[in-house]
Amino acid sequence: MPAILEKKENNTVDFTITVSKETFGAAVDEAFKKNVKKISVPGFRKGKAPRKLIEKTYGEGIFFDEAVDSVLPAAYNDAVKELNLEPVDTPKIDIKEIGKDKDLVVSASVTVKPEVKLGEYKGLKLDDIVHTVSDDDVDAELSKRQEKGARQVTVEDRAVQEKDTATIDFEGLIDGTAFAGGKGENFELVIGSGQFIPGFEEQIIGKSIGDEFDVNVTFPEDYHSEELKGKAAVFKTKVNAISYKELPELDDEFAKDVSEFDTLAELKEDIKKKLQESADARTKQEKENAAVDKVVENMTVDVPECMVNTRIESTIRENNARMAQQGISFEQYLGYMGTTLDQFKEQIKPNAELQVKGTLALEQIAKEENIEVSEADLEEQLKKMAEAYSMELEKVKEFMREEDLENIKADLKISKALDFIVENTKWSKPAAKKPAAKKAAADKADDKTAEEKPKKTTRKKKTEEIKSEE
């Protein structure tokens, strides 16, 4: 039976679903057959009581709930398709009419995707973004590889110096009382690494093996632990050992040891190539972000709270997985950051809303530009997935349900819409900054002009720069 649209207000749609008495009755019969063997009625062996007696004993609706659960999902999905709705949240369901030999009548209320009114999205004018690789970048990467090949040399005949690794015991005290997390044994501290709070490492310099001494420091006001912020502390410290890194020579032999190349020049060239690939990827990402941000700035949309909350939960799951790879739980991460889950959600909420708006904008652009995904596009994406999971293409296809393929197509449409706005953006070289002297002269001229002309009051729109968590 056809679904009936009752009301649409903002992003909420109310509609009625009717399941025919024949369909509902068949579902009730199926529920009876499934459960009859579990039901006991006095005077009858388990599973042998007549249906009418069971319904008389336990009520006519004993099998209704299971029957509703059986028929309603399909009826709801059919209604959504019939009314051309795009739900973004779990519906609220209210049974209006139910009974033996009756149609099942249900009212549903659900939040749907909001209407998107695009502003300018073609021919955007933005500052160009280009990331290049310098010789310094190559040298920095080479230094990292050099560090990995370093060997630790033990020192016994001198005091601690900058960049040494000092193996120390320490215990922190505040007003003579030890505090949680302030004690360590045989801790390897690289002097100058900034690993400890400011002022600590500098006081290790000049100390020798066996020296016992006090390190006096004050915790920063922005320290992550509320109990320690701004507190003066004394660390009882002992130096157990001193060592330093001995770096290998940067020559052809080094290149042979750390890579498949025979010369240092070849290694450097390869490093530069790979760094440039990363720089190009970064350029692409930042151009995409800049274009989407501009499109979002120009659009009008009322984003439902549930869509933002879904994005927040997705971000939390991503962070949880990332933390797990590092061997810590998300709860531990929150504790280390000195924040609660609710506070974390509030922190990421603006970015979550921006991401939702960006997706809605790209979906709408795909519609207006008639962007389609071909079978070849889908095939190529499945090949990439197969490579990523080290699986045969046919195996990947076997695992794919129809809805999975539709989701992939939807993602590809968004990707194509993103490519479209980036390609159609006019990227211009950023204006060079005025030299200080010229700027001062220009400002003076502007002041003079301002005195000669009537003042005009303008209200600038304040925008917040939002960084993606990654």
What is the mean predicted confidence (pLDDT) over 23-49? 87
Percent of the chain with pLDDT over 90: 75
Q: Which of 56, 268, 322, 30 is nearest to 142 (CA)?
A: 268
pLDDT in tens, 194-217: 999 999 999 999 999 999 999 999
Confidence band, pLDDT 50/70/90 cuts, at residue 326:
confident
Residue 435 confidence (pLDDT) above 60: no
Tell me which H or E stretch contains 235. Answer: strand 232-246
What confidence tens digit (pLDDT) does each residue in 448-465 have? 444 443 333 333 333 333
- Which of these CATH numbers, 3.30.70.890, 3.40.50.2300, 1.10.3120.10, 1.10.1050.10, describes 281-426? 1.10.3120.10
Residues 6 or more apart in contact with residue 120 via CB below 8 angstroms: 295, 298
Q: How many CB atoms lie within 10 A of CB 142?
A: 18
In the numeric block, which tokens belong to residue 250?
């940067």
Quote the pLDDT of residue 436. 53
Instruction: Name 341's Cβ contacts closer than 8 Å, sequence gap at least 6.
Output: 316, 334
Could you report the per-residue pLDDT of 357-397, keeping only the tens digit for each?
Answer: 999 999 999 999 999 999 999 999 999 999 999 999 999 99
pLDDT at 377: 95
Contacts of residue 33, Cβ cutoff 8 Å, sequence gap at least 6: none
As a whole number of angstroms, the distance between CA 385 and CA 382 comes to 5
- Name the average pLDDT for the chain: 89
Residues for the chain: how many in total?
470
Q: Identify the pLDDT of residue 262.
A: 95
**Band (433; pLDDT cuts 50, 70, 90):** low
Residue of 240, 335, 354, 349 lying closest to 295 (CA atoms): 354
| CATH 3.30.70.1050 is right for the domain spanning 4-111 | yes
- Domain 151-246 falls in which CATH fold? Chitinase A; domain 3 (3.10.50)
Residue 122, φ and ψ in degrees, nearest 5? -110, 140
pTM: 0.71
pLDDT at site 51:
87
Residue 15 φ then ψ, to 5°: -150, 165
Mean local confidence (pLDDT), 173-188: 92
Q: What is the average pLDDT across 97-104?
A: 92
Residue 227 pLDDT level (bands cut at 50, 70, 90): confident
Q: At what angle do helices 264-298 and 135-148 cross, to 10 degrees?
A: 120
